[in-house]
Structure 1
Amino acid sequence: MDIQNIVQSQSTLFVKDILVFENKDDVETVLPFFADGYPGLLFHQTENGLTIQPHGKKMPTIFLYGQTIKPIAIEVNGPFQIIIFQFYPFVLRAFWGINPEDINDRCHDLTNGHENEINKMISEILLVPTIPEKITIIENLLLDYFEQKRNKLDFLIREVIQYIIDSKGTIPIKEIAKKEKLNIRTLERRFLKETGISAKQFAKIVQFQSSLNQLTTKDFSKKSDIVYANGFADQSHFIRVFKAFTGMTPNTFGKM
């Protein structure tokens, strides 16, 4: 199975990453996903469909997903192409008029309703042979959305998100509020409205993801290196947060 991580310069203001998963073999594939703080848009081309577990739900060809807080897995039988646009979590409301909190751990079908441009886009994607061409078609639609709706985007919250990412989730939210000259309650209210989670929860997810990356890449000599590199109070704090987002301890995860 091929996995690619692509960043397109034109859309980096609102797209964090573009992920591509591809398998040409006739086998069953399971892709686990844990909380990462970023909602997104997923397009798939499969012979037998794509199912989200543990919900057991067959998914449409293209859909939005909200904050993934509980661990999930994507199941596909047979060959597939999956393209995921990961968004910075401040665009769902502006681009699609969705209350982000309403689709936490849920999805929104873009092929239903009045989104005629989505179905037209799917038809165009299915006509082109290469993944870069498919990505360009999706990105062009998103750039059109951006040009039409950029005045609805809360760029202050975009700045707050970047502060949290840059600090790996360890910067106190009250410190960010002070930098932005905002009352902390105002910041938290705006953050929740635009992202679907609180700034503190987003920071915890970013902190968890940093530790997960370090554990996955085995970039440590001993487990305590991960604890202190990512700002956890102690090892029990790290284990508690890790288990909350993965359903398993770091030791169990490391043996997978």
Structure 2
Amino acid sequence: MHSKGGILNGWMIPPIDSLVARYVECYWFINTVKDDDGIAHPKLNPDTCGHLILTPKYQAYDYQSEAYSTQGKGSHWLFPYNKTYTMDHSEPMTLLGIKFHTGALYSLNLEPNTVEVNRIAQVDVEQLFQQFPPKPDSNLAAQLNVSLDSYLESSLASLLQVGQQDQTACAELLDQLLLPWVSTAKDDKHSELVRKAIALPPEVVISQMGQQLHCSQRTLERSFLRVTGMTLKQCQSINKLDNLLTHLSKHENNDINWSDIAQQFGFSDQPHLIRYLKNAIGNTPREYAKSREFVIDIYGNFE
């Protein structure tokens, strides 16, 4: 798929296996080329989901925020975050992402056991998946055209190559790679409560959630903080922002009626929307519309 902002190939697809889909929202792929007309430093809006980002070992990454800066090379964790990151995409790059559902990492036996928030960490992919080897009858190695003993060492390069050619085949391979891991997941009353709360319609306010889920608001708040590392209010605000930016990315500036947007997304008036965006991403609606520098605007939603 050819798209805007220097993207040569990009796609997004949900897992095929139902157990993997319980913990993974989607797989995504971006292959960029150098584009003098594109934005070299796109922004990431806050996200309650964690991403495991698979890249060539030599490929550099750079994330900047007002209070945080990290650089490295190769595959890495982008843990849930409640701030805006600016990335360096000035050079061509290939990224294959695994986007986990909100709260999923709490159940997936990561070390440390506490939920990570606002942190990017380099990851040894082979070492990570060595903890959860495929079943003996897995055909993953055959599909990657390597021996089972050496598939972990070779799988990353092979997966990235498959990702450029066939998104469905890549999703099937990722399912096989992840299935032994997600099979060890342990859900408890806190993760189940968070999953049910997230599934509620967005118009349900916090004060009504406990009643619908047959628990106290205090219990719900404590479970959210434990499972996601964020408060329920933070999670709601971040998800609203994501839905808003996704909606705006599909419209040209001259098609946007900010008063209608404010009403559609539950703001009392346009000034309330202006304050919300300024606080959430550092831009007023006018500034956002002028710059359009977020990933969703630059690379699209791969649809």
Q: TM-score range by the shorter chain?
A: 0.7 to 0.9
Structure 1 62/48 Cα, relative in aligned 2: closer, same or farther at 3 Å? Answer: closer
Aligned length: 250
Please show how residues 134-213 of structure 1 align to structure 2 within 5 Å: 135-152=171-188, 154-163=191-200, 166-167=201-202, 170-213=203-246
- Are 1:13 and 2:46 an aligned pair? no
Structure 1 115/174 Cα, relative in aligned 2: closer, same or farther at 3 Å? Answer: same
Match of 1:130 among 155, 159, 162: 162
Match of 1:42 among 53, 67, 70: 53
Offset from partner CA, 1:9-49 (integer Å, 9 cap, x none): 32322222222111244879433210132222111227542
Q: Match of 1:115, SS?
A: helix
1:65 Cα deviation after fit: 2.0
Q: CA–CA distance in 1 between the matches of 2:119 and 2:192?
A: 25
Match of 2:264 among 211, 229, 238: 229
Offset from partner CA, 1:155-174 (integer Å, 9 cap, x none): 221111121xx42xx32123
Q: CA–CA distance in 1 between the matches of 2:175 and 2:153?
A: 13
- TM-score scaled by length of structure 2: 0.72
Structure 1 246/182 Cα, relative in aligned 2: closer, same or farther at 3 Å? Answer: same
Any conservation in 2 of the 1:48–1:78 contact (CA below 8 Å)? no
Q: CA–CA distance in 2 between the matches of 1:19 and 1:79?
A: 17
Q: CA–CA distance in 1 between the matches of 2:235 and 2:120?
A: 19
Which residue number in structure 2 is paired with residue 251 of structure 1? 286
Rg larger in structure: 2
Any conservation in 1 of the 2:59–2:73 contact (CA below 8 Å)? no
Any conservation in 2 of the 1:29–1:75 contact (CA below 8 Å)? yes
1:151 Cα deviation after fit: 4.1
Structure 1 35/175 Cα, relative in aligned 2: closer, same or farther at 3 Å? Answer: same
Amino acid at match of 1:243: K
Please tell me the root mean square deviation across aligned C-alpha atoms, in Å.
2.9
Any conservation in 2 of the 1:19–1:84 contact (CA below 8 Å)? yes
Amino acid at match of 1:143: L
Amino acid at match of 1:7: P
1:123 Cα deviation after fit: 3.4
Q: Match of 1:12, SS?
A: helix
Amino acid at match of 2:285: P
Amino acid at match of 2:117: N
Q: Match of 2:53, SS?
A: strand
Q: CA–CA distance in 1 between the matches of 2:187 and 2:82?
A: 29
Which residue number in structure 2 is paired with residue 108 of structure 1? 121
Any conservation in 2 of the 1:40–1:65 contact (CA below 8 Å)? yes
Any conservation in 1 of the 2:15–2:172 contact (CA below 8 Å)? no
1:112 Cα deviation after fit: 9.0
Question: Among the aligned pairs, what percent are the same residue?
Answer: 19
Amino acid at match of 2:30: F
Match of 2:106 among 82, 93, 98: 93
1:134 Cα deviation after fit: 5.1
Match of 1:75 among 50, 67, 88: 88
Q: Structure 1 or 2: larger strand share?
A: 1
Match of 2:63 among 49, 52, 59: 52
Any conservation in 1 of the 2:59–2:74 contact (CA below 8 Å)? no
- Are 1:217 and 2:250 an aligned pair? yes
